[in-house]
Amino acid sequence: MFEGSFTALVTPFRDNALDKKAFQDFVRWQIEEGTHGLVPCGTTGESPTLDLAEHTEVVRLCIEAAGGKVPVMAGVGSNDTATAVHLAKEVAALGADGALLVTPYYNKPNQEGLYAHFKTVHDSCDIPIIIYNIPGRCIVDMSVETMGRLAELPRIVGVKDATSDLPRVKQQAAACGPDFEQLSGDDSTALDFAREGGTGAISVTSNVAPGACAKMWNAIRDGDFDTAKAIDDTLRDLHSDLFLDPSPGPAKYCLSLMGRMTPDLRLPLTPPYPETEAKLRAAMQKAGVSFGG
């Protein structure tokens, strides 16, 4: 179910409020472009600045706009286990196909704490869960051994791996089994991640170039890595330049040029610097992304 190009959706704002129409139009465009799945309320969706009611509303809007055409994997992460349980129950009730659960940030739990956190959320609801391991943001790093223990639970079905540690793909496959789905969380290394056995990506780049990202993963699925590499080469500057300033500021700037939404962010994020904007425009042109919607 969770294979191919999944977009880590940005959340459009207008005057600091959710722009519901822009968001649902954006979701429908993503599907038209061939995106294989949608991830609302992840870090790229500025989830730390959404209150619980907004979080639930964004997931509801995504599911409604998707209309069952592609799977929706809703972010439910928190560094408070009780809040993660609450969100997991909410998105399950809304009909999400899966839940993306990040390792608890700031608290810095040890491996036993990580296991207990994920098991508690797992036991609280009946929804498939994808582990999100991103040491660069969360400080903690889930070990292969801990992931293997969690993979024994029936509804822990995969990982979004943002470690950029490519040898882990095979190590995690050995620890977690062949059916454990491994999704890249790093656009810059996603193609190499696939070569190691990864089954997909949860992508920031696919906010801006969903068609190209989907075609790349279609080629990977077909075993055509030459075509996949050719597509990835056109996206290479976008992969890197979308992170020149804190994400999702650069992605929202690009989408504003495309007429998809305003570039509005919630504090503490601020717009990209002018020099970043210039590089983004060049990267969009290299990727063949059209300006103006």
With 0-12 / 13-18 / 19 or more C-beta atoms within 10 angstroms meaning exposed / middle / buried, residue 135 is middle
With 0-12 / 13-18 / 19 or more C-beta atoms within 10 angstroms meaning exposed / middle / buried, residue 154 is exposed
Where helices occur in 67-167 by DSSP H, the ranges are 81-94, 111-124, 135-138, 144-151
Which is catalytic among the residues 69, 89, 119, 132? 132
Element at 55 (helix H, strand E): helix 52-66
Which is catalytic among the residues 20, 89, 108, 160? 160
How many C-beta atoms surround the C-beta of residue 102 within 10 A? Answer: 24
User: Active site includes 106?
Assistant: no
User: Active site includes 105?
Assistant: no
| Measured distance CA(210)–CA(284) in Å, rounded | 12
How many residues does the structure list for the chain? 293
- What amino acid positions are annotated as catalytic residues? 132, 160
